[in-house]
Structure 1
Amino acid sequence: MRLKSIHLGFDENSLTVYKAIANKHRLEILRLLSVEPHNVNELAEKLNLPFSTTATNVKKLEEANLISTELVPGRGTQKVNAKNLDRIIIDLFEKEKTEENNKKIIVDMPIGEYFDCCVKPHCGIVGENDYIGLQDDPRSFYDPFRKKAQLLFMRDGYVEYRFQNKVPYGATVKEIEVSAELCSEAPNHKLDWPSDITVWINNVELGTWTSPGDFGGRRGYLTPKWWLTNYTQYGLLKRFKVNEKGSYLDGTKLNNAIMIDDLRIKEYPFISLKIGIKEDAINKGGFNLFGNQFGNYEQGLLMSITIQ
């Protein structure tokens, strides 16, 4: 079952939620309701607070749409409070303002829909409920059920995706951005396990991110409960962007001369995205790639193209 979440930013609606949760009693109410519904009397008793104070806090959470109240039959009819959300996420990346005459094409590619791959053990593909194929067997990456993958990992190699080129004829491509949740690949997990993970678009190398480690020990927000916590649990969301001014990783300009025209997007019916470990990488620590039901982010490979 997919978790219900809300993303907060810098707008007025987000400010309402920030104000609602900036109180230890209201946070405790949310924690209690995350376990099961309660009425106000039950909440007041567990919080050791007066009924009136508890009712006021419940109302604040209702106004922020974090919880809901409904009438249910009991000893007579009683009001019962229940959670509306499982997670509250704060997005520190402020949405960029796009020029009025620009438009965006956004595609979220499932991680199992790769076009090509080169895989070396330790490796595997994981679905929502079980492994797909055999662990440490590169042949599993050609299993038809790979399209249902929610996590794929390898010690060395790459995966390549081909996005349909949806840029209208005659349009000008101003910018392209790709994002993915990634981390290193160590036995089980290891926080200190650096790996140089490189991204290419249309066979043009954009840059390399050195992942500090393979993250585990605590469950990822989306990672299913059957997956053991001593295995890889989540990654970091990395954003590679190219425009007329250059190429960027998480907003920091990369030390290369790659610009949007170098990607020759208009020349192909597809846009190739390749993620992998270079043969001459200094830190060959492999990589994990997360789908929209594994890790911390509800996305696969997200590509955003700004056109004019």
Structure 2
Amino acid sequence: MKSKHLSPDEEAVKVLKAVANKHRLEILRLLSVRPHNVNELAAKLNLPFSTTATNVKKLEDVELISTELVPGRGTQKVNAKNYDRIIVDLFEKETEINDKQFFIDMPIGEYFDCKVHPNCGLVGEKSYIGMQDDPRAFYEPGRKEAQLLFMRHGYVEYRFQNKIPYGTKAKEIEVAAELCSEAPNHKLDWPSDITVWINGKEAGTWTSPSDFGGERGFLTPSWWHTNYTQYGMLKRWRITSEGCFIDGNKITDKVTIKDLELEKHPFISIKIGVKDEAENKGGFNLFGPKFGNYEQGIQLTVET
């Protein structure tokens, strides 16, 4: 399933204007079934040929559909869709690096350590990796290709290269990941307390409300059944000199950036998991860039 991703810029404005019309939306729907020429579209829409041709041209101008010459009774123009979905990313991707910041996007299969309890599994872009519900699958050589990782409880730990310049101190650190609870198939009422630790210090616990499914994630492959987990929520853990925050909301001031002692270690440890003693022990799903709704792995940003 091919998606067109848009940032909130001039291109997005043009595309959204093009689809803000019921006839053009119907054209896109018809082309999702099979290619049509303008005569066929006009007949199905019950519109004049000229009106249909104008609408087709507007969709062509923003590259949502394409037209090619096909031999038939003479040569005729046939229209086809270019995309299955249009996605507007309203969040800012933190990929710009300056001399006071470093950024790493870690693949979810590149964990350093793990403790896994069934239900559990690793899923690649095209198939499962190893056996489902077998913790031994988490040690498969192919685990680095994982795009979805799930378990009932336990954790995965990642070690990011420490790029803080010598002689400087970190002012804040942020971890961002797409996550949700883990239930058999999926379950919308299934809370789970998901915790993040940074260098062994607890950064905060977020209670996921659901294991989201039933509606396909924007990036989730078509072979993955819709009654399985489909997508999560993008959550951000941040620690500063003032304390710990989740999505900008202060959780505690008992742990600060100083407590992490980031400058003393060659790596930065990020652990994601569900505690054995959690009140809501509903597991977790962790999504990679080719599953779910967000095109990313585990993102680490450090400012100095």
With the length of structure 1 as denominator, give the TM-score of the two structures: 0.88
Q: How far apart are 1:207 and its partner, in Å?
A: 0.9
Q: Matches of 2:66 and 2:243 in 1, distance apart?
A: 48
Match for residue 263 of structure 2? 266
Cross-structure match for 2:10: 12
Q: 1:254 is paired with a residue of what secondary structure?
A: strand
2:220 maps to which of 223, 234, 238: 223
Correspondence 1:50-89 to 2 at 5 A:
50-89=48-87
Measured in 2, the distance between the counterparts of 1:138 and 1:101 equals 40
Aligned partners of 2:32 and 2:82: how far apart in 1? 9
Deviates more, 1:196-205 or 1:104-113: 104-113
Matches within 5 A, 1:120-269: 120-170=117-167, 172-269=169-266
Cα 1:91/1:103, change in 2 over 3 Å: farther
- Identity rate, percent: 70
Whether the 8 Å contact between 1:125 and 1:152 is mirrored in structure 2 is yes
Q: Is the 8 A contact 1:6 1:85 kept in 2?
A: no
Within the alignment, does 1:304 sit opposite 2:294 as a pair? no
Q: How many Å apart are 1:30 and its aligned residue? A: 2.0
Instruction: Write the distance in 2 (CA, Å) between the matches of 1:160 and 1:285.
Output: 19
Instruction: State the aligned residue count.
Output: 304
Say whether residues 1:44 and 2:33 are aligned partners.
no
Mean Cα deviation higher: 188-197 or 117-126: 117-126
Deviations 1:200-249 (A, max 9, x none): 12112111110111112222232233322222222112122334554332
Please say if residues 180 and 239 of structure 1, whose CA atoms lie closer than 8 Å, have aligned partners that are also in contact.
Answer: yes
Q: Secondary structure at the match of 2:178?
A: strand
CA distance in 1, matches of 2:55, 2:16: 14
Q: 1:81, 1:167 → 2: CA distance?
A: 53
Q: Is the 8 A contact 1:242 1:259 kept in 2?
A: yes
- Secondary structure of 1:27's aligned partner: helix
Assess, with a 3 A threshold, how the Cα gap between structure 1 residues 170 and 28 changes in structure 2: closer, same or farther: farther
Q: In 2, Cα distance between the equivalents of 1:45 and 1:247?
A: 60
Q: Which moved more, 1:171-180 or 1:182-191?
A: 171-180
After superposition, what is the alpha-carbon deviation per residue over 1:140-198, rounded to whole angstroms, capped at 9, x for unaligned? 21121211212111111000011122333345534432221111111221111100001
State the Cα distance separating 1:257 from its structure 2 match: 4.3
- Deviation of 1:4 (Å): 3.4
Unaligned runs of 5+ in 1: none
Cα RMSD for the two superposed structures: 2.6
Partner of 1:280: 277
Taking structure 2 as the reference length, the TM-score comes to 0.89
Distance 1:8 1:94 in 2: 8
CA separation of 1:243/1:29 partners in 2, compared to 1, >3 Å: closer, same or farther? farther
Q: Distance in 2 between matches of 1:95 and 1:147?
A: 23
Q: Which amino acid in structure 2 is aligned with residue 4 of structure 1?
A: S
Q: Distance in 2 between matches of 1:32 and 1:102?
A: 50
Evaluate the alpha carbon distance shift between residue 37 and residue 265 of structure 1 in structure 2; reply closer, same or farther with a 3 A threshold: farther
| Residues 239 and 250 in structure 1, CA contact (< 8 A), matched pair in contact too | yes
Query: Against the structure 1 CA distance between its residues 247 and 68, is the aligned structure 2 distance closer, same or farther, given a 3 Å change threshold?
Result: farther
Cα distance between partner residues in 1 of 2:228 and 2:257: 38
Counterparts of 1:297 and 1:184, CA distance in 2 = 16
Distance in 2 between residues matched to 1:57 and 1:233, nearest whole Å: 34
What is the CA–CA distance in structure 1 between the aligned matches of 2:177 and 2:5, rounded to whole Å?
Answer: 20
Q: What SS does the corresponding residue of 2:291 show, helix, strand or coil?
A: coil
What's the CA shift for 1:94? 4.9
> CA 1:165–1:221 in 2, change beyond 3 Å: closer, same or farther?
same
Q: Deviations over 1:81-118 (max 9, x none)?
A: 3333332223333568x9x9755433221111110001
- Say if 1:48 and 1:102 are closer, same or farther in 2 by CA, change over 3 A: farther
Q: Contact conserved, 1:181 with 1:297, CA < 8 A, in 2?
A: yes
